[in-house]
Amino acid sequence: MPSPDATQLLGRASSKLLGPAMARKPPLSPRSAASPRRTTQKKSPLPSPAISSISPSQSVRPKMLTLAAVAVFAFSTYGTYLFVSYKKAVEASRSLDVPCDLSDRYDRSARTYDSEVDTAEMLMRLGKRRKELVQMARGNVLEVSCGTGRNMDYYTLGEKRGVDENGKAAIRGCRSITFVDQSGEMVQVAREKFEKKYPAFKQVAFRVQDAMGSISPPPGTTMRIPVGTKGPKFDTIVQTMGLCSIPDPTAFLKHLGEITEPERGRILLLEHGRSYYGWVNKLLDDLAPAHANQHGCWWNRDIEEIVQQSGLEVVEFKRWHLGTTWRYVLRPRREADTENKTDTEGKASDKPAAGSGLLTWIQKQSR
């Protein structure tokens, strides 16, 4: 057993050695000494469920795919229906025997015609096209294929002095108007419209006849007969959507040229016919007999070819609606222009062909 002095010496030595370490650590409480100290650690976040990592747009994808599939199915079904219906319509159209004279179709539809075409003409803005054309009418006016009088709102009735497109003095407005159509029912509708809209204008006549015959103007109308011509001539002839219903449109247009005043007369046409595009023309051709049988109109005629074959001179020409709507301002071809053209062609034919002199010399040398 060590002595007290030795114990004291040992205690001093150990306090010198362990003093700094003991100074750094605070004395432990009895409770902390009894149980070890717990260290707190930050818990790492648990991975979120897989569904939370999907964006809203990704969660909608199945719905969108379903809707797209339904839409594709609906459109394909509707397209198939249209194709089958079109094929049936084409087959039925080709089997029809349509007569040349279709005027009886207009007799049947005269009272409902305006309501049947109003929406289509509004969407195509044909009212504007009619107005632009008909406001050119002047003098003694003849409207052929007048139908129910869809141009009546646009005429300027009564003559007024003004200037023409060249700045020269001219008469504007209509001195008289003669409406002609083969359909008596259509003409009656036109007459009722006109008398209601213009009750005071008396220089007007309504004729139920073929425009290829002699047409009388309103009673009391003074018509000029140019020197060297037969019969009176109209200053303006208007026809809108009429060539499609005439059996021989080329001969008809030639006749209109013969009854138009030769110097300043004009023929105003607004027609529908063939398109710029082959696929549109195929549709028109395939369904033309059925359309003509129902509506009395051959909508696939080549208006340009008809005008060229008529021999009339083109003053103005425009097209709209994929080329199916045609507007022409025509006039009779003047005799002087025809003579000059003939002289030019004759002079050209009198000239020897290029190289003909050399050919003659070779022939002489070979004899």
Q: Are residues 86 and 155 in the same domain?
A: no
Q: Which range among 211-215, 297-301, 319-323, 350-354 shows the weakest confidence by mean pLDDT?
A: 350-354
Domain for residue 283, yes or no? yes
Q: Are residues 118 and 89 in the same domain?
A: no
Q: Are residues 83 and 158 in the same domain?
A: no
Domain for residue 9, yes or no? no
Answer whether residue 147 shows pLDDT above 90. yes
Show the domain range for 291.
107-338
Query: Which residue has 């009895």 as its token pair?
Result: 30
Confidence at residue 153, expressed as pLDDT on a 0 to 100 scale: 96
Query: What band does 167 get if pLDDT is binned at 50, 70 and 90?
Result: confident
Confidence at residue 345, expressed as pLDDT on a 0 to 100 scale: 47
Say what percent of the chain tops pLDDT 70: 68
Q: Are residues 86 and 210 in the same domain?
A: no
Answer whether residue 197 shows pLDDT above 80. yes
Domain for residue 364, yes or no? no
Q: Are residues 226 and 258 in the same domain?
A: yes
Q: Which string of b and e fits 170-181 if b means at least 16 CB within 10 Å? A: eebbbbbbbbbb
Answer whether residue 218 shows pLDDT above 60. yes
C-alpha distances in angstroms, 230 versus 10, 233, 239, 262, 333? 159, 9, 22, 12, 16
Answer whether residue 26 shows pLDDT above 90. no
Domain for residue 251, yes or no? yes
Q: Are residues 268 and 171 in the same domain?
A: yes
Structurally, how many domains does the chain consist of? Answer: 2
Q: Are residues 86 and 233 in the same domain?
A: no
Pairing of strands 313-320, 325-331: antiparallel
Confidence at residue 90, expressed as pLDDT on a 0 to 100 scale: 66
Q: Which range among 77-86, 109-118, 138-147, 326-335 shows the weakest confidence by mean pLDDT?
A: 77-86
Q: Are residues 91 and 194 in the same domain?
A: no
Mean of pLDDT values over 135-157: 96
Domain for residue 42, yes or no? no
Domain for residue 307, yes or no? yes
Q: Are residues 80 and 171 in the same domain?
A: no
- Taking a C-beta distance cutoff of 8 angstroms, is the pair 211, 242 a contact? no
Residues 227, 231, 234, 239, CA torsion sign: negative
CATH number at residue 126: 3.40.50.150
Confidence at residue 360, expressed as pLDDT on a 0 to 100 scale: 43
Q: Which range among 71-85, 177-191, 243-257 shows the weakest confidence by mean pLDDT?
A: 71-85
Answer whether residue 319 shows pLDDT above 90. yes
Q: Are residues 118 and 91 in the same domain?
A: no
| Mean pLDDT, the chain, integer | 79
Q: Are residues 259 and 177 in the same domain?
A: yes
Confidence at residue 215, expressed as pLDDT on a 0 to 100 scale: 92
Domain for residue 12, yes or no? no
Q: Are residues 80 and 161 in the same domain?
A: no
Reported pTM:
0.70
Amino acid identity of residue 194, one-letter, is: F
Query: What band does 362 get if pLDDT is binned at 50, 70 and 90?
Result: very low
Helix (H) or strand (E) run with residue 86 in it: helix 56-94
Domain for residue 50, yes or no? no
Q: Pull the structure tokens for residue 351.
A: 């000239």
